[in-house]
Amino acid sequence: MSPSRDSIELQAISAYTKHFGVPPRAVASAPGRVNLIGEHTDYNDGYVLPGAIDRATAVAVGPRDDDRLVMNPGSAQDASFSLSRLYPSERRAWTDYLTGVASLLQVRGNPLCGANMFVYGNVPRGAGLSSSAALELATAFALIELNGLTIPPVETARLCQQAEHEFAGVKCGIMDQFISCLGRKNHAMLLDCRSLVYEHVPIPPGVELVVCDTGVKRALAGSEYNRRREECNTGVRILSSKLPGIAALRDVSPDQLHDLQGLLDPVVRRRCMHVVTENDRVVRSVRALRAGDLAEFGKLMYDSHLSLRRDYEVSCPELDMIVDLCAGADGVYGARMTGAGFGGCAICLVKEGFAEGVIARLNAGYHGKSGEKATVYICSIDDGARARGIPQ
C-alpha cells in the first residue's frame, strides 16, 4: 500500500515546520496519472482517457517578507529565486516546474508574495507517471491558496501546461495537467482535448490496475516527443491539400486517411495512422467501459500498444516484454505502455484477485536490456489536486 494523500501532505507540513521553524500557512497536493488509452492524441486535438493515481506531490507553503521563493532548505533540492527574476535554468532542473508556474501566475496578472516552500512526494520521477504535472499543479494550488487568488481549475491546468512548454522545453499536450487537476477517485476521465469538455467515467467494480515500471529512464523523450509533434503537423499540412477543412489529425477519419495515404511519406503516414486509429479506439473503449465489456476494453489496450510500437515508434523492448508477459497471465484483460513512451511504465488491467499473480510473473520474467528490475504495484484511481489553509 502506498502512503495516503493525507500522509504525503503531513510529511510536507512537518518537513516545512522543521526547516523554517514555523508551520506552513497552506498545503496543496496533486497526483500523478496513468493513461488508460489515447496516447499521443492530446496534442492532435483528440481524445484521451487518463486517471489520476494514488501517488502525489505535496507542497507546504508560507509567506516571506521579501520577494524570494525559497525551496526545500537543508535538503539536496535546496534552491532560492527572486520572484522578479524567474527564468528557465540553463541546464534543466526540477525547480523549473515551480519557477515556471510562479512566473506565469505573475505574467497573467496575479501578484505573488515571497514564499517558503517544502516539496515532498512519491510520484516516481522519469517513469512516465507525470511527476512533472503533479509538481506543477501542487505548486500552482499552493501559491493560489497562499495568495488568496481565484483561478478556475481549467485555467490552472493550462497555465501549468504552458510552464512545461516554456520552462521545461517539452511541448506537451494538456492531458497530464488536466487530469492531475481534475481527476476523480475511481473514475477515468474522457477528455476532448480540443474543446476541453470532459466527463468522468466510472471504473467498473471487480478490476485492478497494475503498474509496471521498466526502470528505463526516458532519456530521449523530450526531443523525440517534439519530433513526433512536428511529424503530425506535417501530416496535417499535406492532408489539408485534399481536406481543406482540417485543423488537426482529430479531423481526419481512418477511412479518409486510408484513401489519402499515398500523399504521405512512410514515416509521416505511420504517425498519422496511429493518431487517427487511436482516437477511434478511445471512443470505442469508453463505450466498452460503460457497457462493462472489459474484454473489449482490454483488446483495445493491446491494439493501442501495437500501434504505438509499430506506427508511432515510441515503445521499447522492455515495454513490449511487459505487455507480452501480461498477455500470457491469468485474469488479464489488456496491457499497454502508458504516457509518452521510450521507457517508463506499462499498465495492465486485471480481474480482481489476479493482480498478485501478474505481479509475481512480471517480477520473475522481466529483465531490462541493461539489467533493470521491474517495479510493479497495484494502483488505484484517486482525486485530482487540492489545497487547504492551515489554522495558525
Q: Is 176 a catalytic residue?
A: yes
For ligand GLA, give the closer residue by CB, 9 or 164: 164
Q: Is 344 left (phi over 0), alpha (psi -120 to 50) or beta?
A: left
Cα–Cα distance, 70 to 81 (Å, whole number): 7
Rounded least distance, CB 66 to ligand GLA, Å = 34
Which span (57-65, 139-147, 173-181, 286-294) binds ligand GLA, by CB under 6 A? 173-181
Those residues whose C-beta lies under 8 Å from the C-beta of residue 225, and which sit 6 or more positions away, are: 170, 171, 172, 340
| 314 CA to centre of own chain | 16
Which listed residue (96, 176, 251, 303) is catalytic? 176
Residue list 207-246, contact with ligand GLA (CB under 6 A) = none
Residue list 287-316, contact with ligand GLA (CB under 6 A) = none
Rounded least distance, CB 147 to ligand GLA, Å = 27
Residue 373, phi then psi, degrees to nearest 5: -100, 150
Among 15, 52, 172, 191, binds ligand GLA (CB under 6 A): 172
Beta strands (DSSP E) in 43-159 are 47-63, 68-71, 79-82, 115-121
Amino acid identity at 268: V
Amino acid identity at 335: A
For ligand GLA, give the closer residue by CB, 193 or 260: 193
Which span (9-17, 70-78, 171-179, 201-209) binds ligand GLA, by CB under 6 A? 171-179
Look at residue 148 and give its three-state secondary structure: coil
For ligand GLA, give the closer residue by CB, 42 or 145: 42
Which span (20-28, 107-115, 168-176, 324-332) binds ligand GLA, by CB under 6 A? 168-176
Residue list 318-347, contact with ligand GLA (CB under 6 A) = 339-340
* First-to-final CA distance of the chain: 32
For ligand GLA, give the closer residue by CB, 312 or 354: 312
For ligand GLA, give the closer residue by CB, 145 or 231: 231
173 belongs to the binding site for ligand GLA (CB under 6 A): yes
Rounded least distance, CB 175 to ligand GLA, Å = 4
Do 108 and 150 touch, CB atoms closer than 8 A?
no
Cα–Cα distance, 251 to 139 (Å, whole number): 35
Among 5, 24, 30, 39, binds ligand GLA (CB under 6 A): 39
Rounded least distance, CB 359 to ligand GLA, Å = 24
The secondary structure element, H or E, covering residue 153 is helix 153-163
CB atoms within 10 A of CB 4: 12
Residue list 116-155, contact with ligand GLA (CB under 6 A) = 130
In this structure, what C-alpha cell is assigned to residue 194? 480540443
Nearest C-alpha neighbor of 143 from the set 272, 263, 259, 26: 26
For ligand GLA, give the closer residue by CB, 116 or 161: 161
| Catalytic residue ranges | 176
Contacts to ligand GLA by CB under 6 A? 35, 39-40, 42-43, 130, 172-173, 175-176, 339-340
